[in-house]
């Protein structure tokens, strides 16, 4: 069950520090844009971004119809003040492990996006 969209604001003093997240998806991948991975104790983690969050907007720009490259460009355009509007998923019902039983670092993905290998945007 998806909850109401929320805005998650990420701030950093300089671009020397990574945001600490990776996104997957885009119209060219046939997937909605969603958070693939979040680095524990990184900026994104401390701001509340979680694996499985579905991105609706980057800053004020809707991501609907964007390719993966366009999503990346929008994040870069935001500079050091990055806002995401996301839909949070019910972790118990909405996520699955990509490779069940493959250890504690297994990435969580929304069930309907779990199959196949896709490009992943890792932020810096």
Task: Tell me the pLDDT tens digit for each residue of 53-87.
Answer: 999 999 999 999 999 999 999 999 999 999 999 99
3-state secondary structure of 110: strand
Query: Which one-letter DSSP state was computed for residue 48?
Result: T
Name which CATH class applies to 6-91: mainly beta
Please tell me the pTM assigned to this model.
0.74
Q: Give the pair of three-digit tokens for residue 25.
A: 């998806």
Task: Tell me the pLDDT tens digit for each residue of 85-103.
Answer: 999 975 444 544 344 433 3
CA distance 12 to 6: 20
- What pLDDT is recorded for position 89? 76
Find out whether 106 and 100 touch, Cβ atoms under 8 Å. Answer: yes
- What pLDDT is recorded for position 34? 96
Exposure of 93 in the CB half-sphere (CA atoms within 13 A):
6
- For the chain, the average pLDDT equals 82
Domain range annotation of the chain: 6-91
């Amino acid at each position: 069950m998806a909850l109401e969209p929320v805005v998650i604001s990420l701030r950093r003093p300089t671009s020397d520090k990574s945001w600490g997240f990776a996104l997957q998806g885009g119209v060219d991948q046939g997937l909605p844009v969603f958070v693939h991975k979040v680095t524990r104790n990184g900026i994104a983690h401390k701001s509340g971004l979680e694996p499985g969050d579905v991105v609706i907007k980057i800053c004020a720009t809707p991501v609907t119809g964007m390719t993966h490259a366009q999503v990346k460009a929008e994040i870069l355009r935001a500079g050091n003040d990055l806002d995401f509007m996301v839909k949070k998923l019910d972790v118990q019902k909405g996520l699955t492990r990509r490779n069940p039983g493959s250890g504690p670092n297994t990435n969580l993905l929304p069930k309907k996006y779990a199959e196949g290998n896709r490009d992943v945007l890792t932020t810096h």
